[in-house]
């Protein structure tokens, strides 16, 4: 699914804005994050190191804001009937996923963010950390490391680096 969405977004933006900006925007987006950014980078022919850095920055940029403000934003959005159910679903889904994080604490959060699977990543990890009242001084470095590991994994798959190791 991530590949299809990334491919679709590349098709929309290609030729209208620079490739680097396309992968940056995709990496900023929840759900896609750098998983989609690295796939798009490969599709667009962006040099590996440049793609790695741009996607990492795009994915990590929203994390401090989520950690600092998401609870207040959710509190505000719950006041409106139109957005209340969506926010409650997000909270419920995140808290269900948080069981994995709670068990392993810091290691659980790191693993949750680092494994690039649907429903995991920096955005969800930051949401879980905020809802669990983890301090930003503790959670941000863990999430940043997890995003870095996810980027290494996605780079290997997107750019075919596993072939170097005979896998």
Residue in 157, 164, 130 with CA at minimum distance from that of residue 55: 157
The pLDDT value given to residue 85: 92
> pTM of the predicted model, to two decimals?
0.85
**Tokens linked to 9:** 């977004």
The pLDDT value given to residue 121: 92
The pLDDT value given to residue 100: 66
**Tokens linked to 126:** 């930051």
- How far apart CA 83 and CA 21 sit, in angstroms, is 30
Contact 151, 34 (CB under 8 A): yes
Residue 14 DSSP SS3? strand
From the number of C-beta atoms within 10 Å of its C-beta (0-12, 13-18, 19+), residue 20 rates as middle
The pLDDT value given to residue 84: 93
**Tokens linked to 65:** 């804001």
Residues of the chain with pLDDT under 50: 163-164, 166
32 — phi, psi (to 5°)?
A: -75, -55
């Amino acid at each position: 699914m991530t590949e299809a969405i990334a491919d679709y977004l590349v098709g929309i933006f290609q030729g209208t804005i620079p490739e680097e900006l396309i992968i940056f925007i995709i990496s900023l987006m929840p759900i896609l994050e750098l998983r989609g950014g690295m796939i798009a980078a490969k599709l667009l022919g962006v040099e590996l190191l440049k793609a790695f850095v741009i996607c990492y920055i795009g994915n990590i940029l929203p994390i401090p804001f989520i950690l600092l403000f998401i609870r207040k934003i959710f509190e505000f959005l719950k006041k409106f009937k139109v957005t209340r159910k969506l926010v409650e679903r997000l909270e419920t889904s995140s808290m269900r996923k948080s069981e994995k994080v709670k068990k392993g604490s810091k290691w659980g959060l790191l693993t949750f963010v680092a494994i690039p699977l649907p429903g995991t990543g920096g955005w969800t990890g930051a949401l879980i950390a905020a809802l669990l009242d983890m301090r930003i001084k503790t959670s941000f470095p863990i999430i940043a490391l997890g995003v870095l590991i996810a980027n290494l994994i996605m780079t290997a798959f997107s750019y075919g680096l596993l072939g170097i190791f005979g896998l």
